[in-house]
Amino acid sequence: MTEDPKATGDIGRRIAQRRQKLGLTREEVAARAGAAPGYLQYVEEHPEASPDVNFLLRLAEALETSLGRLHGGDTELPPGTGRAGRHPELVELGPEECWDHLSTHGVGRIAVSTPDGSPAIAPVNYTVVDRAITFRTASGATPALAVGTETAFEVDHIDEALSEGWSVLVTGHAEGVTDPDAVRRLAEAAHTEPWAGGERELWVHVEAERLTGRRILAH
């Protein structure tokens, strides 16, 4: 039988990411799962680890997730396929909360208008610099169409286990950055290369003229 590549190699990374997302130490998770912290460390750090299903079931419960998600079974699915929480509450986020959620970098979506007038949305790796959104793209790519226009940039996050989530919307004017010193500064501030790869020589700066956010809480 052919082994599912999603079931091995990446499970330790997914466990570590989920644990860190919940703000838990290895010791805390191990105590919840009735396991040794040293073994949990081994599973997280060694791609060749092959923990048994009973351990993984206890670990999934400790991490407030499912065995399928630990195995990467939701990799090809859109976020938010779970049911709504009981008694959900939609709350507005203040400006400082919005910036906290935007953090220093991540993946967001830029909205543009194409040459034929139809709207388009494209994902980009972004960095927050001086409370403005910056990203790098190629001159002929869809995100580059934002340059010189009023645009919208959106970031969101879904917590499948708790049926909670948040979204932040930044609207403002987008400009291409051409000054060599400014380009160098943005390159130094970037936390990662664009995931899409290839030549991405155009830096885009979106000034946050309006900032709004919402969060869904499940009680």
Rounded to 5, what percent of the chain is helix, strand, coil? 30, 30, 35
Element (H, E) at 210: strand 210-218
**Those residues with Cβ within 8 angstroms of residue 90's Cβ, 6 or more apart along the chain or in another chain:** 214, 215, 216, 217
How far from each other are the two terminal CA atoms of the chain, in whole angstroms?
A: 44
| CA 210 to mean position of chain CA atoms | 22
pLDDT digits (tens, 9 = 90+) for 170-186: 999 999 999 999 999 99
Confidence grade of residue 7 (pLDDT, cut at 50, 70, 90): very low
pLDDT at residue 9 in the model: 52
Pairing of strands 164-177, 119-129: unpaired
pLDDT digits (tens, 9 = 90+) for 18-61: 899 899 999 999 999 999 999 999 999 998 888 988 999 999 99
- Give the residue among 33, 135, 14, 136 at the shortest CA–CA distance from 75: 14
Q: Which part of the chain has CATH 1.10.260.40?
A: 5-70
Classify the C-alpha dihedral 123-129-132-138 as positive or negative.
Answer: negative
pLDDT at residue 130 in the model: 92
Confidence grade of residue 5 (pLDDT, cut at 50, 70, 90): very low
Task: Give this prediction's pTM.
Answer: 0.70
Using the predicted structure, report yes or no on whether residue 1 has a pLDDT greater than 50: no
| CA 84 to mean position of chain CA atoms | 21
Q: Which part of the chain has CATH 2.30.110.10?
A: 88-218
Pairing of strands 132-137, 210-218: unpaired
pLDDT digits (tens, 9 = 90+) for 60-93: 999 988 888 888 776 676 777 777 888 899 999 9
Using the predicted structure, report yes or no on whether residue 219 has a pLDDT greater than 80: no
| CA 44 to mean position of chain CA atoms | 20
Residue type, 14: R
CATH superfamily of 5-70: lambda repressor-like DNA-binding domains (1.10.260.40)
CA distance 6 to 160: 19
Give, in order, the Cα–Cα distances in Å from 198 to each of 48, 136, 185, 201, 216.
31, 11, 21, 9, 37
CATH topology for 88-218?
A: Pnp Oxidase; Chain A (2.30.110)
